[in-house]
Amino acid sequence: MDLDKYFGVIMNISIKSKTSLLLNCIILILSIGCAKDKNMDDYRREQLQISLSKISAISGVYSGSMSSKVDGSNLGNIVLKFKATTDVQSGSGSTTTNQTAIVSGSIKLQSLSSAEVSFDNGYYESESGNFQVSIPVVQDNIVISKISLSGQIMNGHWIGSIEVKGQSQNGADLNLVKNAPPGNTSSIEVGGIRLEQIRKMDYPFLGFYTYNSITSPFKMNISNREATPEQTVFKLLSPIRQVNISCDLSDFELLFNNAILDDTMGTIVAHDPTDQGRPVRADLFCKMFELGADFGWDCEVQTKTGIFRTHLKAKL
């Protein structure tokens, strides 16, 4: 017998057996890995459906009145509408995308002005009933603040508050009822502090100023910088905001686009206006006065040519 040939055959069979065994091991490892990934994806999908069903169980339309935290007066009516949806994010270490259950919907405000604001970042925790939404307020493409909606859902009621971030004392308490009949809402309250503060900004303010012994008329108007829905809600809930101020001094008109109006302190502060589109060096400071039924502003306008002082009364 040729021993070299015999042992060559034996070695060839052994190599083939080892190669086959190695391939089988690799296939087994890959199968286990795929099964693990599949089981993890199944688990994620199952948990997602559970979370979506918990949100869907309390989804719907909730409505009621807004009670001011300042004095308890009714600021208006609000309708909260939401449903369950998903947020898709890139899953770390997963072969599939990672989906998270979130709350999307809108709040519709009916007060001195009407506005409807949408959101898609709501959070709901079923164990505690906690519900939270954060809505950015954008001005000149910059987020200047956020509107916070925070509360709990219990027995068909959404109980919580709506406020501007950092200004909880000026917000409103809410007790909203799910699928409430139209009679659940009530009229806004005349005489409430916050609504009266806003109403007083809607009038033109008239007076006179004297310069070089010449007396001339002075007219001032206040307007919101933007009319987006988020700005409308922000205006209701924040006594401090940026507004446009136009000062008509007969011979020229100053337009302040960066005025800071503080309803609580009763002040207006502004700098660097324009006159017919041209930049002007000027400063404006006003202090609100109230005398019986009359109200208005005592203002001082300082320019490079001098200081103008005026007593402006609201034209009712």
Cα distance between residue 50 and residue 45, in whole Å = 9
SS3 sequence of 244-272: EEEEECCCCEEEEEEEEEECCCCEEEEEC
Which pTM was predicted? Answer: 0.79
3-class DSSP assignment, residue 16: helix
Read off the pLDDT of residues 104-119 as tens digits, 9 standing for 90 and up: 999 999 998 899 999 9
How large a percentage of the chain has pLDDT more than 70? 82
pLDDT score of 43: 76
Residue 119 · residue 101 · CB < 8 Å: no
| Tokens encoding 272 | 């660097």
Q: Cβ–Cβ contacts within 10 Å for residue 98, how many?
A: 15
Read off the pLDDT of residues 200-228 as tens digits, 9 standing for 90 and up: 999 999 999 988 888 999 999 999 876 79
* Alpha carbon separation from 150 to 90, 176, 202 (Å, rounded): 28, 12, 31
Of 98-102, 189-193, 301-305, 312-316, the one with minimum mean pLDDT is: 189-193
For β-strands 294-303 and 60-68, DSSP reports them as unpaired
